[in-house]
Amino acid sequence: MNLQSCILTAMSSMTSGGDTRKISKGRWSSSLDEKVGVGGNVGGEGPLKKGPWTAAEDAILVEYVKKHGQGNWNAVQKHSGLARCGKSCRLRWANHLRPDLKKGAFTAEEENRILELHAKMGNKWARMAAELPGRTDNEIKNYWNTRIKRMQRAGLPIYPEELCQRILNGNQESQNVGTMTNEACHHDDLSQTNNFDIPDVEFKNFKFRHGLPHVPSIFDMPESSLFDQSSDSSHSYNFLFPTMRPTKRPRESEMLYDSFGSCSINAAPLFDQYGNYTFEKISDHPGLSLPCDPVLNTTDQFHGDNLTGSHAALNGNASASVPIFGAMKLELPSLQYPETQHGSWGPPMSPLPSLESVDTLIQSPTLEPILSDPISPQSSGLLEAIVYNSKSLKGSNNDLLLQETIATANEVANISTLNHSFQTEWDELGDPNSPLGQSAASVLTDYTPVRMCSVDGYQSTETSQDHDDKHEAPTTQFPDSSSKKKILKQVDYTQPDALLDLGWFGNNTKYESDQFVQQDALGALFGDNCQHQP
DNA sequence: AACGATCACAACCGCGGTGCG
DNA sequence: ACGCACCGCGGTTGTGATCGT
C-alpha cells in the first residue's frame, strides 16, 4: 500500500486506536505558522495539521521511516503526503513511535535515576533521556514537572532527606578540607555510572563557604538554607534577580552564571556540569561565596540510598530554572503564582539580597531541621517515601527557627529604627497606591514568587501589606554577622532605591567588584531600558 | 449529576547549533 | 562570511482524564 492510499485509508478511520484521547480535535495550521525552520510547509501542499496525531498518521510516519529512515523530516510531508511538518514528525517519532521506547510509568529505579540526573544536569532532559534507555526527554520532563509541581503544591520536599543530611555532613567535612579535588568529586557512584560529557568540575580553585571569613556560619541560617546553598547553589542565587523573561533565552554558553541560573526546582543541578567555570567566577565574587563543597558530596547522595525525602536543595517552592541573567523565570507554573503569594508572603526583606541570602530566601515550605526518619516507607516508591518523610517533618522543629528568626528580626527592626525616615518613604513606596509602588520590590513581587526564608513558610519579595511591620531578618543575607550589621547600618536595605543609591550593586561595598553582575541584575530588575543610574 | 480543580501527557513553539552551498 | 535549511532542545500550552466537592 503506498503512502497516499494509506493516508486516505487512515483519514477515514481516524478515530481508531492510538491517540483516541485527542483524536477528535486537530488543528490545521496556516502555512504562516510553519514557515520557520523545520516547520516549513515544504511541500506547499496545503495547511499542515496540528494537534494530536491519529493512528493513521502514525502508521504513515512509521511506514515512511521504515522506508527512508529517520532524519530529513521535512521530506516526510513531501513523500508521504502526511500533513504534518517535519518538526512534528520528528517529535512524534522520537516520543512515541520509536520502537525502542519503553512504555508505562516510571519505575522507582527510574525515578531515582531521574533525581540523580537532574541533580547533576539540571534541566538537560535530552541528556537525561540518554541515560534512561527507552525514555524520552519529553517524558522525563513531564515527569519532573508534574511530580515536582504536585509536591510543591503540597509543600513537600523534592529531594530525599538523606541527601540533605549528607550534604550537611559534606559541609562539615569540607570545612576541614577546604578544597575538593576532582577525585573526591567523582568518587561516588553517581559519577561513576554516568557517562555524561560533562567537564570535570574543578573545585580546587573553589573556596568553600566554610573557609571564607565572610561567610555566615552554619548557625546564621536555617539548615535548609544550608542545604540550598550546598546542594543547589545555583537555584538559590537565582533569587537575586527577579524573574523576568528575556527577549532572548540565553544559552548556557552565554550565561556566565548559568549553573546558578539553571537552577532551582526544575533546573538545578546539585553540581553543575559547568561547575568549573561557574564556581570560579562566583567564588571570586566577594559576596558570593559558594557553598559548594557539599555539592561534591551530593554525588553520592542519591546513591544506594533510599530516597527518603527532605528539604533538599531543591525544595518545594524554590523557583525554577532561572538563569541568573536574562531568562529569569520560574519553571513551575504553580510556583509562578502560588496561592500564597498574596498577603501571606513576607516583606521585601531585602529587595536585592546578597547571593548568600538567596539561598535562604528560597526555601522549602518547611524549614524544619532535617530529621531523618529511618522508618520511613521506602518500598512504596520514591515519591511516597518523600511524602511520608515530609509529613513526618511537618509540625516539628519550627520553634527553634522561629525564635531565631524573631530574634534576628528584632535586631533588624532596631537597626531599622535608625532609618525611620527611610522607612517611611519606603512605606510610601510600598504602598500599592503610590506611583512608586511598582518599584523593585514590586517587580520582584510580580516575577519572583519565590518562597523566602521564613518561619511560617511563605514569604516572598512580595510587597505584602504588612511588610513594614516585619523587618524580617536579612540575617542570612550577608556574608557574616559583622558585615551584615555594618551594611544594615548603612542602609535600610528593605528599600531598593536606597540600595541602589548606596551602590548595593556598585560602589561603596565590597560587592562592587562585580559590576557586571550588578548591571545585569539591574537590567533584570528594571528591564533592559532601565539600567541603574548611578 | 454537575461543576471546577487538578493531573498527566502530548504536542507545539521559539530558539540556538550545525552543516552546507 | 553569509544565508539557509535542518535538527534538536527546553519551555510552554492545550486537552482529555480524573478527582473532589
**DSSP codes joined into one string, A499-526:** HHHTTSSSTTSGGGG-HHHHHHHHHHHH
Element (H, E) at A50: strand A48-50
CA–CA gap between residue A217 and residue A200 (Å, rounded):
29
Q: How far out from the chain centre does Cα A8 lie?
A: 46
Would you state the pLDDT for residue A70?
Answer: 79
- Identify, with chain letter, the residue nearest to nucleotide C17 (CA–C1'): A21
CA–CA gap between residue A14 and residue A24 (Å, rounded):
8
Is the minimum distance from the CB of A238 to strand C below 7 Å?
no
Burial bucket for residue A379 (CB in 10 Å: 0-12, 13-18, 19+): exposed
Contact A120, A274 (CB under 8 A): no
Do the strands A48-50 and A27-29 form a parallel or antiparallel pair, or are they unpaired? antiparallel
Taking the C1' atom of every nucleotide in all shown strands and the CA of A48, the nearest one is B12
What single string gives the DSSP state of each residue in A187-213?
Answer: -SHHHHH----PPPPP-TTPPPGGG-T
Would you state the pLDDT for residue A89?
Answer: 86
Inter-CA distances, A144 with A139, A152, A228, A459, Å = 9, 12, 19, 24
Is the minimum distance from the CB of A136 to strand C below 7 Å?
no
Would you state the pLDDT for residue A413?
Answer: 39
Taking the C1' atom of every nucleotide in all shown strands and the CA of A72, the nearest one is C6
What single letter denotes the amino acid at residue A256?
L
Residue A506, C-alpha cell as written in the block: 556598585
Is the minimum distance from the CB of A264 to strand C below 7 Å?
no
Is the minimum distance from the CB of A74 to strand C below 7 Å?
yes
Question: Angle at CA A152, nearest 5°, toward A151 and A156?
Answer: 60
Is the minimum distance from the CB of A234 to strand C below 7 Å?
no
Would you state the pLDDT for residue A22?
Answer: 35
- Identify, with chain letter, the residue nearest to nucleotide B17 (CA–C1'): A251
Give chain A residues 373-412 with Cβ within 7 A of strand C: none
Is the minimum distance from the CB of A250 to strand C below 7 Å?
no
**C chain positions with any atom within 7 Å of a protein CB:** 5-13, 15-17
CA–CA gap between residue A268 and residue A322 (Å, rounded):
9
Would you state the pLDDT for residue A311?
Answer: 35
Is the minimum distance from the CB of A134 to strand C below 7 Å?
no
**B chain positions with any atom within 7 Å of a protein CB:** 6-17
CA–CA gap between residue A463 and residue A466 (Å, rounded):
8
Q: How far out from the chain centre does Cα A396 lie?
A: 27
Is the minimum distance from the CB of A331 to strand C below 7 Å?
yes
For the CA of A251 and the C1' of B15, the distance in angstroms is: 9
- Identify, with chain letter, the residue nearest to nucleotide B10 (CA–C1'): A52
Is the minimum distance from the CB of A321 to strand C below 7 Å?
yes
Would you state the pLDDT for residue A168?
Answer: 57
Would you state the pLDDT for residue A424?
Answer: 36
For the CA of A457 and the C1' of B16, the distance in angstroms is: 39
pLDDT of chain A, 534 residues: tens digit per residue: 444 444 434 433 333 333 333 333 445 544 333 333 333 333 345 567 788 888 888 888 888 888 788 777 878 877 787 888 888 888 888 888 888 788 777 887 888 788 777 777 777 787 788 888 888 888 888 888 777 766 666 666 666 666 556 545 655 544 443 333 333 333 333 333 333 333 333 333 333 333 333 333 322 333 333 333 333 333 333 333 333 333 333 333 333 333 333 333 444 444 443 333 333 333 333 333 333 333 333 333 333 333 333 333 333 333 333 333 333 333 333 333 333 333 333 333 333 333 333 333 333 333 333 333 333 333 334 444 444 444 444 443 443 333 443 344 344 334 333 334 333 333 333 333 333 333 333 333 333 333 333 333 333 333 333 333 333 333 333 333 344 333 333 333 333 333 333 333 333 333 333 443 344 444 433 433 333 333
Is the minimum distance from the CB of A185 to strand C below 7 Å?
no
CATH superfamily of A3-97: Homeodomain-like (1.10.10.60)
Would you state the pLDDT for residue A142?
Answer: 80
CA–CA gap between residue A75 and residue A319 (Å, rounded):
41
Nearest to A522 by CA among A491, A497, A494: A497
Domain ranges of chain A: 3-97, 161-335+354-526
